[in-house]
Structure 1
């Protein structure tokens, strides 16, 4: 019987990233997918700053950023007039090395990740479908249907369901998927236009009860268009085409569509499964949560699931942690997923609400409020952090302990530029590490040396304090770059107590 450490079901971005991060940490992984190849249509487009930050761990952040198109500003239009323009770079540069929304079509993204896996000697096993599995406590035995119809069994310590909203893994587990479906019918189209006057920026336009979101591909004249279908057409029995949807918003922006390369209609769902961990099986990405496309959060959240779980699986498999560490995946990711569904639901409901009052608020009140709010730096930064997922933190996690300065356990480490570099450089090392902004005590230096945990000291400068870091404090960072322990006194015994209390035994490299 073939065996592996982790069997990944599904080769979308979530599954591919999980396989990459597991392999990078020395974990044997097998990834299968029932499709014949990567997707041919560009579903998700947005890659957010936090995803690119995490991609830096494998040297992928800059490569993906260069491959995509940087949407540096967001524009709001009403009745053919621009009512608000919100540039990202003027303030996001103090928050992240990637102060923009990256437009990178999912089909391109998947091929990129498949190629990175191939460079590591791992091939996605295509036309291979999970038909059943048994969790025996110490391992999972999965039945796979191979190309041609034959079946084989595969033994794995853990099984990861990354197989989308219609997840076979979730179905076999009998797991819930509570939520609902929005009333509106949406369309998505990839088009060529004769006169692309949008400047490579992101635009949303409202015309009466309809709206359209337009995003550039980074190639002149090529755009992604997402909008609502008129109620009169939404119930049509025959398949709709681009000619059947409202074009007023598109024409109001001065765009003339020359060719439709792809068109589809869809309903939007909002659902979250009850549990992400079921013994030795896990649910990630769309298999665990789906929500409205507001803010382009879906794919990025799945990738975050994968990186959160990967280091924990690796630690347990290498006997660097107890199996109970995996419960922290359940304590961290579902909480964020549910908050995300609630947030995007409110935004989505506002953007699609019908009726004269809703239309008036959306087209006359909201643009003015947006201009005013974005004139306030704290509001700009808060909104960028929310959309970019740099605000994501785990305050309720059992792994989150202490506070030093304004930084608490579970927080994303503040990003600080200085002397032509930044404090995120050491985070490319997927392992526990300690950061001290100022001077580390001799006791802490000796403890890190004895433990084999890298210590990174940054000579104090005011920029660190402005970012919320405390001078001479010790920040014990998890392998996924979040703060585990924030120790204001920099005491080595506090770090030792943290590791012992959580059953963590990081090994020397």
Structure 2
């Protein structure tokens, strides 16, 4: 029976990132996927700033930025008229090294991740499906079947389902997936053509009956259309062609389509699994939560799941933490998934609401108010922080504690730009680190040396204070760069108490 530390089922972005992060932490996983190869369609487009910050830990951020496309402007259309052009640009300037909204199609994204895995000596086993598994207490025994029907029994200490909304892993775990399905049928099409809306920017048409968003996938002439299917054709959505979609919004944006490279219809669901862990099996990404595409959150949330789980699995596998650490994965990611689904549900319901009042608000009020609101610095910052996922925190989870300044255990550390660099510079490999903004006490220096933890000291200045940091405080960062412990009055005793409470051996 073939054995591995961790068996990953599913090689979409979440599964691939999980495998890459595990490898960076010193654990080699096995990863299988039922598909014959990586995706060839640009299903997810947006790569958020927090994802890029985490990618930077694996030297992945710059290749994505170099190959992607920032969105500089957001255009609002209503009933065939261009109503507003809202500048976005570096909307998150001063908050992150990646202060923009960014497009990098999923097909290219997956190829990059697969290539990085291959360079690390890890190949995705294609045409391999999971048909069942049993949790034996100390390990999982799984049954895999290849394209020829050959069956294999294998063992792993843990199994992770990254196998999407129809997850076989979730089904075998017998975990509920409550939620619902919106009544509208939507389409997605990657096209080439001519239009004022194929201008390298984000365009949204708010019609009284139709909805159409145009996401640029190139500076000009190419984009993704996301819109509604005509109600009289929705009953047989799986048989539709591009000619069957609602034409009114396309005409409103004066889109002349030369080529349709990909077309698909779908219904939008909003569901969150009851649990992300059961014994030695875990759910990551769409296997655990699905929601509307509003805000470009889905793939980024799955990647966040993967990184959160990866460093914890690696720590337990290497004997640096007890298995109880793995409970913190669900404690941190499940509440966030529920909040996210609630938020995207509200936004999506507003965009697709019926009735005369909803139509007046959507086509009349919003195009007039949004450009004014978008000029307010506070509104722009809140919008960016929310969509970029830099607001995500784990303050209430048991793994995190303390506070120093305005920063609490479980927070994303504030970004501070320094001469020639910043405080987010990655370690050679993901690991724990201590940040001090000011001067570290001698006993903290000794503690870090004793535990093999990198100590980084930054000169205190006004930017540190403005970001909410406390002078001379200790911020113990987890491998995913969230704050595990914030100590305004640091001491060896405080640091040791944190390790003891969580049974960590750094």
TM-score by length of 2: 0.97
Q: Which residue of 1 aligns with 2:503?
A: 503
| SS of aligned partner of 1:142 | strand
1:109-128, Cα deviation, whole Å (9 max, x unpaired): 11111110000011000011
| SS of aligned partner of 2:91 | helix
Task: Tell me if structure 1 keeps the 8 A contact 2:199–2:220.
Answer: no
Matches within 5 A, 1:479-498: 479-498=479-498
| SS of aligned partner of 1:295 | coil
Q: Which residue of 1 aligns with 2:128?
A: 128
- CA distance in 2 between counterparts of 1:147 and 1:258 reads 37
Q: Which residue of 2 aligns with 1:21?
A: 21
- CA distance in 2 between counterparts of 1:490 and 1:80 reads 61
- CA distance in 2 between counterparts of 1:220 and 1:375 reads 26
Deviation, structure 1 residue 196: 5.4
Q: Which residue of 1 aligns with 2:253?
A: 253
1:478-509, Cα deviation, whole Å (9 max, x unpaired): 00000011101232321111011110001xxx
Q: Which runs of 5+ in 2 are unaligned?
A: none
| SS of aligned partner of 1:92 | coil
1:415-446, Cα deviation, whole Å (9 max, x unpaired): 11121311100456411110001111111111
TM-score by length of 1: 0.97
Deviation, structure 1 residue 386: 0.5
1:238-284, Cα deviation, whole Å (9 max, x unpaired): 82222222233333333321222221111001111100011110011
| SS of aligned partner of 2:333 | helix
Matches within 5 A, 1:281-300: 281-300=281-300
Q: Which residue of 2 aligns with 1:173?
A: 173
- CA distance in 2 between counterparts of 1:405 and 1:368 reads 39
Q: Please, which moves more after superposition, 25-34 or 199-208?
A: 199-208
Q: Which residue of 2 aligns with 1:190?
A: 190
| SS of aligned partner of 1:226 | strand
- CA distance in 1 between counterparts of 2:454 and 2:73 reads 39
- CA distance in 1 between counterparts of 2:427 and 2:78 reads 43
RMSD over equivalenced CA pairs, Å: 1.5
Matches within 5 A, 1:79-90: 79-90=79-90
| SS of aligned partner of 1:235 | helix
Deviation, structure 1 residue 365: 1.5
Q: Which residue of 1 aligns with 2:141?
A: 141
- CA distance in 2 between counterparts of 1:331 and 1:418 reads 34
Q: Which runs of 5+ in 1 are unaligned?
A: none
- CA distance in 1 between counterparts of 2:215 and 2:160 reads 32
Task: Tell me if structure 2 keeps the 8 A contact 1:200–1:216.
Answer: yes
1:41-69, Cα deviation, whole Å (9 max, x unpaired): 21111111111110001100011111111
Q: Which residue of 2 aligns with 1:51?
A: 51
Deviation, structure 1 residue 465: 0.8
- Runs of 4 or more off by more than 6 Å in structure 1? none
Q: Which residue of 1 aligns with 2:302?
A: 302
Aligned residues: 506
Q: Which residue of 2 aligns with 1:158?
A: 158
- CA distance in 1 between counterparts of 2:92 and 2:70 reads 13
Task: Tell me if structure 1 keeps the 8 A contact 2:476–2:483.
Answer: yes
- CA distance in 2 between counterparts of 1:477 and 1:374 reads 34
Q: Which residue of 2 aligns with 1:100?
A: 100
Q: Which residue of 2 aligns with 1:334?
A: 334
Q: Please, which moves more after superposition, 196-205 or 48-57?
A: 196-205
- CA distance in 2 between counterparts of 1:236 and 1:393 reads 42
Deviation, structure 1 residue 23: 0.9
- CA distance in 1 between counterparts of 2:347 and 2:197 reads 27
Task: Tell me if structure 1 keeps the 8 A contact 2:199–2:219.
Answer: no
Deviation, structure 1 residue 366: 1.8
Matches within 5 A, 1:216-365: 216-218=216-218, 220-236=220-236, 239-365=239-365
Q: Against the structure 1 CA distance between its residues 320 and 61, is the aligned structure 2 distance closer, same or farther, given a 3 Å change threshold? A: same
- CA distance in 2 between counterparts of 1:255 and 1:184 reads 23
1:347-400, Cα deviation, whole Å (9 max, x unpaired): 000000111110101111222332232222111101111001111111111012
